[in-house]
């Protein structure tokens, strides 16, 4: 049985680090330039991901609002947030868990579903989470980070 789109949309980074909260937000922001495009194959990532990029939409002292848009920002593929808090001298962070997303599903004879729903932008979203985790781990090798779906 395949994993439902709603469950795949809970994929996020959760963890703690010794870095200052502002430094963590800086690493999350700078990672937006680390990933672009539709991935290694247009066949697996989809035409709507062509030229897709992560954009910072809004920010506060402890939270970032991000989106993934197609090339030229014509289509918003998905949105998510990043949040940091200080807790007993350590910084807790959560990046992701899609707040909104678009799906598509291939069908036989126009009506019979031929597989699980695809989340537009999921490929670039996964690569972005990997880039954020890598940036944080390179700045703090002692960081405890998990990139996983939320438990159901």
Phi, psi dihedral angles at 133 (to 5 degrees):
-60, -40
Q: Which among 16, 34, 10, 11 has a CA at the least distance from the CA of 136?
A: 16
Q: Report pLDDT digits (tens) over 60-89.
A: 999 999 999 987 777 888 999 999 999 888
Residue 29 lies in a domain: yes
Q: Which two tokens stand for residue 151?
A: 């438990």
Give the range among 55-64, 65-74, 125-134 with minimum mean pLDDT.
Answer: 65-74
Residue 61: its pLDDT value, please? 95
Residue 152 lies in a domain: no
Give the distance from CA 8 to its chain's centroid: 11
> What mean pLDDT value characterizes the chain?
86
| Over residues 28-33, mean pLDDT | 94
Does residue 42 register a pLDDT over 60? Answer: no
How many separate domains does the chain show?
1
Residue 128: its pLDDT value, please? 95
Residue 98 lies in a domain: yes
- Alpha helix ranges (H) inside 12-148: 21-30, 42-45, 122-139
By residue range, what is the domain housing residue 12?
5-147
Residue 34 lies in a domain: yes
Residue 47 lies in a domain: yes
Does residue 118 register a pLDDT over 50? Answer: yes
**Residue owning tokens 């597989």:** 115
Angle ∠(21,22,25) on CA atoms, nearest 5? 90
Task: Please list, in sequence order, all residues whose beta carbon lies within 8 angstroms of the beta carbon of residue 129, skipping any fewer than 6 positions away.
Answer: 11, 12, 13, 95, 96, 147
Tell me, what CATH number does 91's domain have?
3.30.530
- Residue predicted with more confidence, 116 or 114: 116
| Over residues 103-132, mean pLDDT | 80
State the pTM of this model.
0.86
Residue 94: its pLDDT value, please? 97
Element (H, E) at 105: none
Residue 135 lies in a domain: yes
Phi, psi dihedral angles at 119 (to 5 degrees):
-90, 120
């Amino acid at each position: 049985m395949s994993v439902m789109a709603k469950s795949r949309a809970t994929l996020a980074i959760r963890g703690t680090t010794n870095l200052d909260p502002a430094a963590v937000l800086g690493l999350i922001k700078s990672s937006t330039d680390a990933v672009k495009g539709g991935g290694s194959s247009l066949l697996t990532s989809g035409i709507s991901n062509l030229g897709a990029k992560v954009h910072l939409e809004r920010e506060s002292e402890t939270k970032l609002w991000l989106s993934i848009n197609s090339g030229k920002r014509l289509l918003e593929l998905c949105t998510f947030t990043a949040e940091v808090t200080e807790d007993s001298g350590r910084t807790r962070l959560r990046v992701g868990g899609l707040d909104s997303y678009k799906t598509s599903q291939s069908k036989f004879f126009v009506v019979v579903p031929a597989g699980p729903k695809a989340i537009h932008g999921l490929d670039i979203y996964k690569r972005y989470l990997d880039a954020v985790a890598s940036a944080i781990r390179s700045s703090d090798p002692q960081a405890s980070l998990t990139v996983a779906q939320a438990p159901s």
